[in-house]
Amino acid sequence: MRTLGLIRRGTPGPSRDLWPGLRASLDADDVLVLRVPALGWLEATAVAVAVGTLALVPDPVRFLSACGLL
């Protein structure tokens, strides 16, 4: 029994802490800064196309449901 105890104490088990960095951040109450890209012409055009298409299609509700958005 004593020998077994010595062996156990001699070889520490593997660390179960898979995310040490994330844990450290959480412990430090780290603040995440989300840097959303500035809205330019590309994004504005995409929004216009997305909304405009819904105005043009004959059955927008069915179309949106096919998109997985409704």
Partner 1 sequence: MVRRRDLLAYLIGAGVAGTLLTAPYAARLAAVRLIAGATTMADVPFFLLPILWGLWNLLWARRQPAMGIGAWGALLGVVAGIAVNLFLVAVGTWFPVMMLLPAYLPVLYFLLFRLIIGPLNEALGVESERSTAAG
Interface ranges with partner 1 (CB under 8 A)? 18-19, 21-22, 32-37, 42-43, 46-47, 49-50, 53, 57-59, 61-63, 65-70
Host H or E run for residue 6:
helix 2-10
CB 5 to partner 1: min, Å: 31
8 vs 66, beta carbon nearer partner 1? 66
- Are the CB atoms for 66 and 54 separated by under 8 Å? no
Q: At what angle do helices 41-56 and 60-67 cross, to 10 degrees?
A: 130
CB 28 to partner 1: min, Å: 15
